[in-house]
Structure 1
């Protein structure tokens, strides 16, 4: 399978200018990061605010993905000169000056086609190759082809991509797995970290650090030389997440790092910007307006940090577990993030060993051991018998049971006894007819009850299997497969999230309509089919 190239895209898509007779100049992946276009809220701030506040488009992401037809500075000047005229039409001005972004294409499935066949045909449709982008695009160029999730998500996302890559490997497209790992390595080298997605407006934050798992995947394909090849990027990503740790005093936090009073070092989610998210600008403005007791910038940073977590949004980040106005993401030490950081440390140690650097190996093995002790000390809830998040500002655990509790099993942090207790807690508290529930809270947020998400199912299945809890793993995996299959049988599609109550429906809540495509669901479904192949998954 080969990626879909620019010539396959319609002129209604983001790169429509490339199809026109007078396309704008193209910027390539080899250009310095300093040449990237300004994010829309900086390039034409007054116009940006007017469009978003006026809700010219139903989805606030639509405008930030639109392509300026000419120099943004000229567009801004013309807008400022024209906006006070009595006959000024904002929608018409946008139409005249921007090429609207197009949705990802979805093929019509072959009637009665098995779900695996449908997914295999989706990969080339969801593939993109943008080593060059139009001069003023918010899209960041990447040297190799990549796969997008689908729907409104027309760019490559960080943690989504790992689960997509699992599916690509299962489909036999090992070449594109390597291409995507190389893209992430390129972003680390170019920007100092992996952005949330390859858009200018995502550069201020990252996402759950799955790059080390991508390297693991590539190493399974080609051998351990992958570890030594990507060692520089693994170390750079680690430096990004640990920036400021060396000088941090006990009881304080800086950027992504938290040091507890006993000296334990943890990571948290954090965003370098403290403004409304460009792609959800109006929602963030309204949320901050409802919290007059807090500085707006503080609320916005917590919202952005919630987006970095990938769980945007969830009761995990809310002070009262119910209202988004109580969000306090940066005050929370997440168990899943720190489990992933443990795996990153162990992976760097392994890569150093492959590179015959014994001092580095010893250093990162020690860091991983220290983090493991910290997790077992502060993130283990002995009363409930499962892993939890920790509120470092209040100095206490957040006792809610969530799907994040399985991450210590997935990464190997957990002791055997704690893994067994966690399995019991998950079985009793999070197992649903359609798989593993995200939380036990129903509040309208998309990363809460009753929704279930493909990546969390895979993390649970793999983590539980690692500790010989294969029965529970199979229950979660096969129930989720049933859920995916039931909706596919009726609607001929795979979607971003699912309602796990057993009704065979897609999930709800969140800031946008349910999206189909869908990258990580496709990948996890293929892996679960391979692991739990049963007659009901053979066809429609």
Structure 2
């Protein structure tokens, strides 16, 4: 009996470990599609986050047996074999009278998650505690985490920052890159590469030795983004890498899969029916936009009004390449600290080449703005977006360019509540009238780098007031805000407006401390 129990225990443990590497669609073929195309859950993400009560093989055997029986109830079957996820912050109620700083301090606890262990669901193990964004986002997210860390630093929660960086180190070492989030269905793509900025953030407390400590993981992340470079011909692309006709290497967003996103399966299948592109091409462009974090925005469309014209993989995003410039520079510095002058020179040269290429291809002199570059059409993008502030944040712009960007920010992007994401209004959540904390942050500190402090302060004060006004009215901090009509709720997107919210909390606290706003 003991031997049988041990055998069953080992079998279940093996199944859990094995199933953690497979996504829900891979584990539940047929059942997955039936559930996601039904109306059992209003949000497709609910089912892919659900935890199975039994091994996948057992569930599938029961499904195949029962699905064709008279009176089969799919909803009842799913409820019997899966436990739907709960949203902890959904039941949290804030005491508005205690103030917004107390609210954020309490939310760090509400949004905190302990180390994960395999339960047979889609969640990937993580060894350390972490902060989730909130709402439907019940897992760690890559680029969200950096802006959350800015607030954690102001709250003197250095240990949590170290834990979150440790989780990303674990993911890089295990998978070779940082996934979009710690879910099996995110293992085909990453998100904007902010890891080197996280290392920089830690180095403010731990010193320059931090750069050396995390050098192996920075190199692995760099290898992931540059995979496909070898043998690439001019005018061609491979995975995330594009080799331009001048021989320059720049990067794009990409996804290893060309199937509908599992967490938004129904939306993608329906949207694919509206496009003239082959479905796999459309799905990959949708997924690449999800990797950018800007899902979705007219930035990625050839026709600003139509998602069906999405062309993400044809574009060289200016912000992505600024982030990779920072990664190259940080790797170079880590080698310098180790006394390795050859590799310091190698990565410094890579960074300088990337900077020159960004200035060559992404600066639109006619519009006085940094834009994405369409490498297939060999022309700059028509979309004018807040991604254009990233060259200021990373000191890539020259003084004349920075002044031009500042003028356009003030005259075109700045509204009463902050900076709109783009100049297009089309119902997508990463377009006007919506504004997002990370882009306000990058714009403000980018302007400060070029001594545009008055404008930076105006933007920061507008954003802080928007956050505080909504908090006083609702007791919540939100994922995004309508900054054109600050009394209206932000809209767009594939899901309802989320509260919590990790990066909003982080950026707000950071800006309030920088500008000494006490309330």
Interval containing the TM-score (normalised by the shorter chain)? over 0.9
Distance of 1:111 and 1:150 partners within structure 2: 19
- Among 109, 113, 116, the alignment partner of 2:101 is 116
For the residue of structure 1 that corresponds to 2:97, the secondary structure is coil
CA contact (8 A) 1:342 1:413 kept: no
The alignment's C-alpha RMSD in Å is 1.6
Distance of 1:162 and 1:112 partners within structure 2: 29
How far residue 111 of structure 1 moved from its aligned partner, in angstroms, is 4.1
Distance of 1:441 and 1:61 partners within structure 2: 28
Distance of 2:81 and 2:455 partners within structure 1: 55
1:411 paired to 2:398: no
Q: Which moved more, 1:205-214 or 1:503-512?
A: 503-512
1:509 paired to 2:489: no
For the residue of structure 2 that corresponds to 1:282, the secondary structure is helix
How far residue 505 of structure 1 moved from its aligned partner, in angstroms, is 3.8
Alignment partner, residue 245 of structure 2: 261
Distance of 1:261 and 1:247 partners within structure 2: 14
Distance of 2:449 and 2:126 partners within structure 1: 35
For the residue of structure 1 that corresponds to 2:250, the secondary structure is strand
Equivalences for 1:40-59 in 2 at 5 Å?
A: 40-59=24-43
CA contact (8 A) 2:19 2:27 kept: no
CA contact (8 A) 1:483 1:502 kept: no
Alignment deviations for residues 100-141 of structure 1 (CA, whole Å, 9 cap, x no partner): 11113253222411101110111011010134131x110001
Alignment partner, residue 6 of structure 1: none
1:26–1:454 CA distance, 2 compared to 1 (3 A): farther
For the residue of structure 2 that corresponds to 1:45, the secondary structure is coil
CA contact (8 A) 2:196 2:330 kept: yes
How far residue 413 of structure 1 moved from its aligned partner, in angstroms, is 1.2
Alignment partner, residue 465 of structure 1: 448
For the residue of structure 2 that corresponds to 1:258, the secondary structure is strand
Distance of 2:354 and 2:96 partners within structure 1: 51
Report how many aligned residue pairs link the two structures: 509
Alignment deviations for residues 446-496 of structure 1 (CA, whole Å, 9 cap, x no partner): 000000000000001111101111111111111010100110010001000
For the residue of structure 1 that corresponds to 2:214, the secondary structure is helix
- Among 405, 426, 450, the alignment partner of 2:433 is 450
Alignment deviations for residues 244-287 of structure 1 (CA, whole Å, 9 cap, x no partner): 11211000000000111111111000000000000000000011
Distance of 2:516 and 2:143 partners within structure 1: 26
CA contact (8 A) 1:495 1:506 kept: no
Alignment partner, residue 207 of structure 1: 191
Alignment partner, residue 481 of structure 1: 464
Distance of 1:415 and 1:448 partners within structure 2: 27
1:231 paired to 2:215: yes
For the residue of structure 2 that corresponds to 1:253, the secondary structure is strand
- Among 356, 376, 398, the alignment partner of 2:359 is 376
1:396–1:70 CA distance, 2 compared to 1 (3 A): same
Distance of 2:115 and 2:56 partners within structure 1: 21
Alignment partner, residue 497 of structure 1: 480
How far residue 37 of structure 1 moved from its aligned partner, in angstroms, is 4.1
Equivalences for 1:183-332 in 2 at 5 Å?
A: 183-291=167-275, 293-332=276-315
Alignment deviations for residues 121-162 of structure 1 (CA, whole Å, 9 cap, x no partner): 11011010134131x110001111000000100000000000
Alignment deviations for residues 321-344 of structure 1 (CA, whole Å, 9 cap, x no partner): 111101010000000001111111
1:528 paired to 2:511: yes
Give the TM-score normalised by the residue count of structure 1.
0.92
1:26–1:223 CA distance, 2 compared to 1 (3 A): farther
Alignment deviations for residues 214-250 of structure 1 (CA, whole Å, 9 cap, x no partner): 0000001111111000000000000000001121100
For the residue of structure 1 that corresponds to 2:118, the secondary structure is strand
Q: Which runs of 5+ in 1 are unaligned?
A: 1-21
Give the TM-score normalised by the residue count of structure 2.
0.96
Q: Which moved more, 1:416-425 or 1:490-499?
A: 416-425
1:87 paired to 2:71: yes
Distance of 1:255 and 1:322 partners within structure 2: 27
Q: Which moved more, 1:466-475 or 1:234-243?
A: 466-475
Alignment partner, residue 132 of structure 1: 117
CA contact (8 A) 1:166 1:524 kept: yes
Distance of 1:365 and 1:418 partners within structure 2: 23
Alignment partner, residue 98 of structure 1: 82
Alignment partner, residue 38 of structure 1: 22
CA contact (8 A) 1:437 1:500 kept: yes
CA contact (8 A) 2:435 2:482 kept: yes
How far residue 25 of structure 1 moved from its aligned partner, in angstroms, is 6.0
For the residue of structure 2 that corresponds to 1:112, the secondary structure is helix
Q: Which runs of 5+ in 2 are unaligned?
A: 1-8
